[in-house]
A = this chain, B = another copy of it.
């Protein structure tokens, strides 16, 4: 009996907590963090006996450089109360003596590129849209496809709506792009694309749609943990966000991704059922692709990105830009949606984009939200854009 009890305890320790054993010994009192109060205030706690300084960064902050000081509450515990905050989904993490630290008490971690942060979800109408509800769920697949344009197989995430497998029907497609530093998992881990679509479709607010989430960095195959471990970028190739203006992603989207999706999924393969949208760098990609391919996409969404004509925009040519926009105006997409937060640092570029479109007479719908360049806005934008598609 004792031997068995020991065995049980060992399994419990080994499977659940072995790597934190030495840590656990120093943390006799369990820490609850984040604790959500009735008024949507939130208490964050961190047990860090030796820390000098604990700070908190979270996507509810207007300026993410203004981190929150977490004062020492007693000899081992740091604690701060934030809010009340609007009911929403946020990301946060601690900074302990200058080092970013995930909240050890929160086992929900989200990732955008190399940025790991805990999820905070405050109950309310908006978060119901982002949360997993008791509704039919679509399937999310990580798919490898050949990219002859780039010269390697690459990875994308594809959401197929509930019922896709058995319906025999064809569906419209939304091509959805992440921002700089991100990858094909950003719209999943942070963006909650699959759950937002599940919930909107179940409520009859969005039509069933296939969502294709690509990796927008052409010199890598996939997200960090999913690419060959010892692959090196070709010498001289621009890496990361430096690759943004090489035009390679735009080419592979048109030449490789769309043909693959239309050949391998039951897709309504016409402009009236083809939508494209992206955030930040993905908003740049969206502009580049739709400018160069007027008439290919019936629905266009540009999130948190305006005119990009700086020195990094190697081939930027204002005359060509205007010419393309005139052709796009002729093609008359059913929706050209531009969204930006009031505090977005790219606000001025978005204003210039709208001025240019006004000047040309290219129709667009403009959505200005609160807040800045964060996933709080991008989730909101997807939740607002999806219901407008394919109507």
Contact = CB atoms under 8 A, between A and B. Distances in A.
A180 B50 CA distance: 32
Interface stretch (A93-101, A205-213, A292-300, A380-388): A93-101
Interface string A3-16: 01101101110111
A110 B346 CA distance: 33
Nearest to A244: B11
A22 B116 contact: no
A68 to B, nearest CB: 12
Query: Chain A binding site: helix, strand, loop or mixed by DSSP?
Result: mixed
Nearest to A89: B229
Identify which of A17, A50, A113, A121 gathers the most chain B CB atoms within 10 Å of its CB. Answer: A50
Interface string A161-189: 00001100000000000011110000001
Contacts of A107: 113-114, 224
A26 interface: yes
A229 B131 contact: yes
A67 B104 CA distance: 19
Interface in A50-109: 50-53, 55, 57, 64-65, 67, 93, 95-102, 104, 107-109
Given A10-B346, A15-B180, A123-B229, 18 more contacts: A4-B311, A8-B311, A15-B281, A19-B57, A22-B65, A22-B95, A46-B99, A48-B98, A49-B98, A51-B97, A96-B99, A108-B224, A109-B109, A127-B229, A131-B229, A134-B152, A136-B144, A137-B153
24 contacts: A4-B309, A5-B311, A10-B345, A12-B241, A14-B280, A14-B345, A15-B281, A15-B373, A16-B181, A27-B98, A48-B98, A49-B98, A50-B51, A50-B52, A50-B53, A50-B97, A102-B116, A108-B225, A109-B225, A123-B230, A132-B226, A132-B227, A139-B142, A141-B141
